Amino acid sequence: MNKSNSIKNIAAALLDAQKDLEPILLNASNPYFKSRYPDAGQVTEKVNKALHKNDLVFLCLPATQPNLNGTAAFSFLLIHSLSGEWIESETLLPLGDNKNIAHAFGALMTYVIRRTNLSLMNVVGEEDDDANSLSKTHFVPERNNGHHLPKEIKAEDLAEVTSPDSNKDIPKGVMIGTMLKQAAETAKPASQKQRMLLSSLLHDVFPDNTVRQKVCRDIYDTSTWSKVSDEMVMATLNWMKPTLDPDDKQYNIPITIYHELKRAAAPYQNVG
């Protein structure tokens, strides 16, 4: 993330915009996941109304990233028109094995704009089922082979991830932890079942105990699982968003999230 030298005015304006935001309704449904969510048109209209009332402009634009075939790049810019202060970030997302790249990119951009608008205003964008749907089984990373999206994950279902080229001096785990700490401020406490689920997911992604402990230390400021707060557990589950495979009844996390976690483990892969 990049920003102007000062963000005092833009932060105050964003706070007022969040206060002015009208309720976001779950007015659309996803028959595949049997869930409801707010459609992009409603989100954009209400978020823009609150932002513009407080002299804020939010832009989401395609970005140029050479030598990244099959990957979509997006640049986000929040501007305070009165002070000129700004906040900028960028994300990279794979388009998957889509033959119609233009259609896939359009669908992904619609999703990214909706999700980023919701994130900007600190609003939940889906139904809360207390993570009951996550409790049946867990992620098997070997099924993805590091190449393809799980078959149930489509362009519009991808989670946002940060560019692997940004903030190179900051460990990826620390960057993830910073994001999750912000989300945890408004997250509800996780149940014991949810803690067990996340522990199982982390064991699958990081089968080596030493690597897992070091990644958890970066993300959670502790390698002791019992010391991770229930709010951080819930924030992590909300970010990982495991989804059920209808064929083998196991849960996958999006391949983008899997790669983000693997990048967090990269400095420790040679640890014995």
Count of C-beta atoms within a 10 Å radius of residue 41: 12
Question: pLDDT: is 251 or 150 the higher one?
Answer: 251
pLDDT band (50, 70, 90) for residue 8: very high
pLDDT at residue 72 in the model:
74
Query: What would the mean pLDDT of 141-152 be, rounded to a whole number?
Result: 38
Nearest Cα neighbor of 33 from 244, 208, 240 is: 244
Residue 11: pLDDT band (50, 70, 90) is very high
- Decide if pLDDT at 139 tops 80: no
pLDDT by residue (tens digit) across 194-248?
Answer: 888 888 888 888 888 899 999 999 999 998 888 999 999 999 988 988 776 666 6
Give me the phi and psi of 186, to 5 degrees please: -120, 10
Q: Is 224 exposed, middle or buried (0-12, 13-18, 19+ CB in 10 A)?
A: exposed
In this prediction, residue 215 carries a pLDDT of 93
pTM of the model: 0.45
Task: State mean pLDDT over 95-110.
Answer: 64
- pLDDT at residue 96 greater than cutoff 60: no
- The answer, yes or no, to whether residue 137 has pLDDT greater than 80, is no
pLDDT > 80? residue 26: no
> How many contiguous H segments (helices) and E segments (strands) does the chain have?
8, 8
Please tell me the least confidently modeled range out of 62-71, 167-176, 200-209: 62-71
pLDDT class of 13 with cuts at 50, 70, 90? very high
Q: What is the pLDDT of residue 150?
A: 37
Residue 83 predicted with pLDDT over 90: yes
Which of the pair, 167 or 111, is modelled with greater confidence? 111
- Say if residues 149 and 255 touch (Cβ distance below 8 Å): yes
Q: Which residues 6+ apart lie within 8 Å of 152 measured at CB? A: 32, 243, 244, 245, 246, 252
Average pLDDT over the chain reads 76
